[in-house]
Amino acid sequence: MARIALLDYRFGRALLWQKRALGRWCAYRAAQRATLTSGYSISRHGAEDLLAAATPVSFVADWPIDLYEFGAELIVPRVVLHNPPGVGPSHLDAGRSTVSKRLGKDPMRYLRSEYWRCLLRRKLSRPVGR
């Protein structure tokens, strides 16, 4: 069982050869962070790990961990449905744009092996659940 199963998300990418059949659904291992996640099921151990990674709170809410390393699964077809992006109120959009403008991208990321692993995973992955 996955530590976290994403039931609703937008722009999820998965490694298609890493999937499990769950009745009429399929669970794909998340290759990278999914956006607009509004529904998920999480195990107790997963919640403890997520809390440890997100504490102390120092920035606008988003995934504080790499979902692939965390062992997250994307459920297809999505179980929970959410409004399309831009429809309805969002309490996080203003804070995200402010933080992203202030921080920018770190040019030193090219020197980290994690960057290259994530890039390769993204290139090998395919969109799911759209």
Separation between Cα atoms, residue 8 and residue 38, nearest integer Å: 6
Burial of residue 72 (number of CB atoms within 10 Å: 0-12, 13-18, 19+): buried
| 12 in Cβ contact with 30 (< 8 Å) | yes
- pLDDT tops 60 at residue 100: no
What's the pTM?
0.76
* In the chain, domain spans: 4-128
Query: For strand 73-76 and strand 35-42, is the pairing parallel, antiparallel, or unpaired?
Result: unpaired
Summarised one tens digit per residue, pLDDT across range 25-79 is 999 999 988 887 888 899 999 999 888 888 877 655 667 888 888 889 999 988 8
Q: What are the backbone dihedrals phi and psi of residue 20, each rounded to the nearest 5 degrees, phi first?
A: -130, 140
Separation between Cα atoms, residue 19 and residue 73, nearest integer Å: 9
CA angle 95, 128, 70 (to 5 degrees): 65
**Residue range 5-31: mean pLDDT, rounded:** 89
3-state secondary structure of 80: coil
